[in-house]
Chains A and B, each alone.
Chain A
Amino acid sequence: MMVAKSENAVATSSAHTSGASAPGDRSGHELHAKELKQQQRREQWSLLSLALPGALIVFFVIVIPVSWLFFLSFLGSDGEPTLQHYRKMIEYKSYARTFSTTFQVSLFTTLICIAIGYPLAYFLAQLPARWAGIFMLAVLLPFWTSLLVRTYAWLVLLQRKGILNDFAMQIGLWDSPVKLVHNMTGTLIGMAHIMLPFLVLPLYSAMRKIERDLMHAASNLGASPARAFWHIYMPLSISGMVAGSLIVFILCLGFYVTPAVLGGGKVIMVSTQITAILENQFNWGAASALGVVLLIATLLLLFVAARVFKFDAALFGKG
């Protein structure tokens, strides 16, 4: 009796051990493993569904129209497939000039925005958060005014008998009215004003993230304010500056209203020319081709800039 009993005990325990050590057997028996997995999958799907409205809008409002334009750009006015729109762009000098103007305006606007926006963002970043909020309102205020209104306001300010010329002549800055509008100068002034917040916002947020201790440390280690700025602050804020500059530059490339009003027909940007083609010739193919080239040029530029500045991290928040 005793022997049998102990044998039994041994058998039970060994079965237990072998059961535990064979992983193949276990998976099916793990408690609630399947349900837990399902639950996780459900959560992932519901998370994904949050992006669905946005994805649909992008698809119908951007992907399809852009594809359609791309398609149109290869159609002649007779409806036959052709490369004539692209060929024209190479043959006629005016197109090259338009592109060069577009990139020039965008580049100069970006540079002006950096020159004004960097010190401004630095100033804001040094303020206590509450005061920074108040000053930030001042930066954002123009956002709440119509673009057209702001552009025409500049026209009033800058024209021959405008406020600025009057004032400058009264205090003797110059003797006869200076041509400040209906040219490149006016365009750049107006564009820089409109674009400034787009540069200041990302730059400010990058600067806010720079710990004050880092500048203290630099100066403690022997760096004069200028060197501390150059070695520490500048490199740490550059990501915000690149991000802001790219936003400004890209927005400028497709800008229409301001150059049209303040340029007075002398600053022909790509968007201006697209409008002209559509209004005068009703040529969808040619207009589309211009749009496509601008899009590709922009993407190429982004690609090169990403390589040079390694800003993908800055733009997409990686690392």
Chain B
Amino acid sequence: MDTSVSAYNENTHVESDQALPITISGLTKRYGSLYALNSVDLEIRSGEFLTLLGPSGSGKTTLLMAIAGFNRPDSGSIRFGDSEMILMPPHQRNVGMVFQSYALFPHMSVAQNIAFPLKLRGVKAAERLSRVNEALETVQLSGLGDRTIDQLSGGQRQRVALARAFVFRPRILLMDEPLSALDKKLRERMQIELKQLHRQLGVTTVYVTHDQREALTMSDRIAVINDGLLMQVDTPEIIYNQPVNAFVADFIGESAMLPLTHTTNGILEFGGQEIVQTPVSGTDRTWSMVIRPERLEIADKQAVPNESLIVFDGVVRESVFQGESAFVLLELSDGTELSLRAGGGTDSRAQRLQPGEQIKISMQRHDVIVIPAGQE
């Protein structure tokens, strides 16, 4: 029950000789005519926390299961370090895995569950005991080793599953939406704990989720995947601030998409307002502008566009108080809907807006994100 996430001892951080890079190339898996994985190439660095992020049916779980060895791809290569794994049966891959359902053995106690991989590896009873206790301590479940699985809460089961996955010191750890069954508060706490545990173990971690917020919170890098294709692989900051296409922009964070038009002098504009220089590559294609609600501000009535500011006119459709912030739904003069998020302080201007009110909104020119229009 202690809340100290700092209970993990960060001094025991192990450098990446405990971890292995994963190199995936040309990985393809078809179900009928549908591509679950379409020639995926992905380099997962030694010791990093990489999240596979995508909607359900995107192929993210298929990819994780292929790494674990639970499904058989049609073609491609999966290497751990220098060793080819594609033909290796799962029990010889030596990767830890936390299942969405936890998959704890119901006929074994907590300690027996955690000891199972050690027993299979022929670890002697005395050492087994000390390593099980050590693992229990790491996940803050000391003293619960004798419990049966059905005596545990959801959060505790999650921790047991975690302990069982790392107790045999695998150099790769896989997690399949491990927090999806927990309530919001516990989930957010476990996100931080998992991240700290990852730092402590130093093991290459591949994490699957459909929750973009979770991905942003935990990852060193995020691989956004859709329809079996990798859309973008990068750090959370870049994924959020520089999405490469409409799918990524739409899937990560809240966003609105404004269609831009070309002017004769190589500039993209919206509603007669010059927005940005047309990217060199794209004079012959259409572009959209991604607008994040929190990057918009309510401007003064007299505000005009200038070198650093873009200004829109809009009509308030709805203004909603959401606790830590206020959310305003707007309609621009051309009918486009935009949303704006402002701080929830009691003096927030956003909270006093009435539906139908005419306002000006602004955003910084350097926050402009331009992407090719339409889905890839």
The interface of chain A, by Cβ under 8 A from chain B, is 211, 213-214, 216-225, 227-228, 231-232, 235-236
Distance A254 CA – B243 CA, assembled complex (angstroms): 75
Contact between A219 and B101, CB atoms less than 8 A apart? no
Residues of A within 8 A of B184 (CB): none
Among B89, B100, B107, B168, point to the contact of A221 (Cβ < 8 A).
B168
B267 shortest CB reach to chain A, Å: 55
Q: Which 8 A-B pairs have the closest CB atoms?
A: A217-B103, A213-B103, A221-B117, A222-B120, A219-B91, A219-B90, A220-B97, A235-B107
Is B32 an interface residue, CB under 8 A from the partner?
A: no
Distance A214 CA – B106 CA, assembled complex (angstroms): 9
Contact between A211 and B101, CB atoms less than 8 A apart? yes
Which of A211, A221, A227 neighbours the largest number of chain B CB atoms within 10 Å of its CB? Answer: A221
Among A222, A235, A236, point to the contact of B117 (Cβ < 8 A).
A222
Residues of B within 8 A of A223 (CB): 91, 116, 120
Residues of A within 8 A of B103 (CB): 211, 213-214, 216-217
Among A214, A224, A235, point to the contact of B91 (Cβ < 8 A).
A224
28 A-B pairs within 8 Å (CB atoms) are namely A211-B101, A213-B99, A213-B100, A213-B101, A214-B103, A214-B105, A216-B68, A216-B70, A216-B97, A217-B104, A218-B105, A220-B68, A220-B70, A220-B91, A220-B95, A220-B97, A221-B91, A221-B168, A222-B94, A222-B120, A223-B91, A223-B116, A223-B120, A224-B91, A227-B120, A228-B91, A236-B106, A236-B107
Is B121 an interface residue, CB under 8 A from the partner?
A: yes
B20 shortest CB reach to chain A, Å: 16
Residues of A within 8 A of B96 (CB): 220
Known: A221-B164, A232-B105. A216 touches B99 (CB 8 A): yes
Distance A223 CA – B120 CA, assembled complex (angstroms): 6
Contact between A222 and B105, CB atoms less than 8 A apart? no
Among A217, A224, A228, A235, point to the contact of B97 (Cβ < 8 A).
A217
Which of A222, A224, A228 neighbours the largest number of chain B CB atoms within 10 Å of its CB? Answer: A222
Distance A224 CA – B121 CA, assembled complex (angstroms): 11
Contact between B70 and A222, CB atoms less than 8 A apart? no
The interface of chain B, by Cβ under 8 A from chain A, is 68-70, 89-97, 99-101, 103-107, 116-117, 120-121, 164, 168
Distance A220 CA – B94 CA, assembled complex (angstroms): 7
Residues of B within 8 A of A219 (CB): 69, 89-91
Chain A residue with the shortest CB-CB distance to B97: A220
Chain A residue with the shortest CB-CB distance to B117: A221
Residues of B within 8 A of A225 (CB): 91
Contact between B99 and A221, CB atoms less than 8 A apart? no
Distance A261 CA – B278 CA, assembled complex (angstroms): 93
Known: A221-B117, A222-B117, A231-B116. A216 touches B105 (CB 8 A): no
Distance A66 CA – B254 CA, assembled complex (angstroms): 75
B32 shortest CB reach to chain A, Å: 15
Distance A237 CA – B59 CA, assembled complex (angstroms): 33
Chain B residue with the shortest CB-CB distance to A220: B97
Which DSSP category, helix, strand, loop or mixed, fits chain B's interface?
loop
Among A216, A221, A235, point to the contact of B116 (Cβ < 8 A).
A221
Residues of A within 8 A of B121 (CB): 222
Distance A222 CA – B106 CA, assembled complex (angstroms): 18
Contact between B90 and A216, CB atoms less than 8 A apart? yes
Distance A195 CA – B168 CA, assembled complex (angstroms): 45
Residues of A within 8 A of B90 (CB): 216, 219-220
Residues of A within 8 A of B91 (CB): 219-225, 228
Distance A178 CA – B266 CA, assembled complex (angstroms): 97
Residues of B within 8 A of A214 (CB): 103, 105
Contact between A217 and B168, CB atoms less than 8 A apart? no
Residues of B within 8 A of A218 (CB): 105, 116
A231 shortest CB reach to chain B, Å: 7
B159 shortest CB reach to chain A, Å: 15
A239 shortest CB reach to chain B, Å: 10
Chain B residue with the shortest CB-CB distance to A216: B70
Distance A190 CA – B91 CA, assembled complex (angstroms): 42
B89 shortest CB reach to chain A, Å: 7
Residues of A within 8 A of B164 (CB): 221
Distance A232 CA – B116 CA, assembled complex (angstroms): 10
B304 shortest CB reach to chain A, Å: 60
Residues of B within 8 A of A213 (CB): 99-101, 103
Question: Given A216-B70, A220-B69, A220-B70, 4 more contacts at CB 8 Å?
Answer: A213-B101, A216-B103, A221-B91, A222-B91
B40 shortest CB reach to chain A, Å: 21
Distance A224 CA – B117 CA, assembled complex (angstroms): 11
Distance A221 CA – B164 CA, assembled complex (angstroms): 8
B369 shortest CB reach to chain A, Å: 40
Residues of B within 8 A of A227 (CB): 120
Which of A217, A232, A235 neighbours the largest number of chain B CB atoms within 10 Å of its CB? Answer: A217
Distance A223 CA – B99 CA, assembled complex (angstroms): 16
Residues of B within 8 A of A235 (CB): 107
Distance A222 CA – B115 CA, assembled complex (angstroms): 12
Residues of B within 8 A of A236 (CB): 106-107
Residues of A within 8 A of B95 (CB): 220
Distance A235 CA – B164 CA, assembled complex (angstroms): 20
Chain B residue with the shortest CB-CB distance to A222: B120
A314 shortest CB reach to chain B, Å: 12
Residues of A within 8 A of B97 (CB): 216-217, 220
Residues of A within 8 A of B117 (CB): 221-222
Residues of B within 8 A of A228 (CB): 91
Distance A236 CA – B107 CA, assembled complex (angstroms): 7
Distance A217 CA – B70 CA, assembled complex (angstroms): 10
Among A217, A222, A232, point to the contact of B99 (Cβ < 8 A).
A217
Chain B residue with the shortest CB-CB distance to A238: B107
Residues of B within 8 A of A222 (CB): 91-92, 94, 117, 120-121, 168
Distance A214 CA – B105 CA, assembled complex (angstroms): 7
Which of A220, A231, A235 neighbours the largest number of chain B CB atoms within 10 Å of its CB? Answer: A220
A220 shortest CB reach to chain B, Å: 5
Chain A residue with the shortest CB-CB distance to B90: A219
Distance A216 CA – B96 CA, assembled complex (angstroms): 11
